[in-house]
């Protein structure tokens, strides 16, 4: 990433899906392209950031599958077939545990009506995630103060 005039690096983290870079002017996610060909970059200027979130994301299709299994279990209960009732609820419980285990923490940085940067901080511990969120907020405030003086 080439820096703009008067821009300095503040934070850098390597991720499984690329790298996230925080500078005094922007935050950027560099992602590797398919088959190692071309890389993709999404950048948001600090003054355009509208929200920063740390959230858990799970697979929606697993929740839908849980609903189908519960529905089968309820139908089995109404028909009073023990196999369907027990099987539906047991399968729903197993899929629920799988859903809990596959949820991943995701950091999402959104801009005012534009692009958003979403990444999974796999190699970042809780302290480094807190530091990153703090650094983004601090850099945004510093940038807003800098622009107000202009």
pLDDT digits (tens, 9 = 90+) for 96-136: 999 999 888 889 999 987 788 888 888 788 898 899 999 99
Q: Residue 15: pLDDT band by 50, 70, 90 thresholds?
A: confident
- Architecture per CATH, 9-56+105-149: Roll (2.30)
What are 36-93's pLDDT values in tens digits?
655 778 889 999 999 999 988 888 999 999 999 888 888 877 877 666 677 888 889 9
> Rounded to 5, what percent of the chain is helix, strand, coil?
45, 30, 20
Domain boundaries, given as residue ranges, for the chain: 9-56+105-149, 60-102
The alpha helices in 3-122, defined as continuous H runs, are 60-79, 82-102
Does the reported pTM lie above 0.85?
A: no
């Amino acid at each position: 990433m080439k820096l703009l005039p008067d821009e300095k690096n503040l934070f850098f983290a390597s991720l499984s899906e690329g790298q996230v870079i925080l500078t005094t002017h922007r935050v950027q996610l560099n992602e590797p392209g398919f088959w190692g060909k071309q890389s993709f970059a999404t950048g948001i200027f600090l003054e355009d950031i509208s929200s920063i979130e740390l959230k858990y994301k799970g697979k929606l299709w697993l929740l839908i599958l849980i609903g189908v299994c519960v529905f089968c279990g309820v139908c089995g209960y109404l028909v009073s077939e023990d196999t369907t009732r027990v099987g539906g609820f047991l399968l729903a419980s197993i899929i629920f545990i799988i859903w809990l285990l596959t949820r991943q923490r995701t950091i999402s940085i959104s801009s005012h009506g534009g692009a958003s940067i979403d990444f999974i901080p796999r190699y970042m511990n809780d302290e480094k995630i807190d530091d990153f969120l703090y650094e983004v907020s601090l850099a945004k405030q510093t940038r807003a103060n800098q622009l107000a003086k202009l």
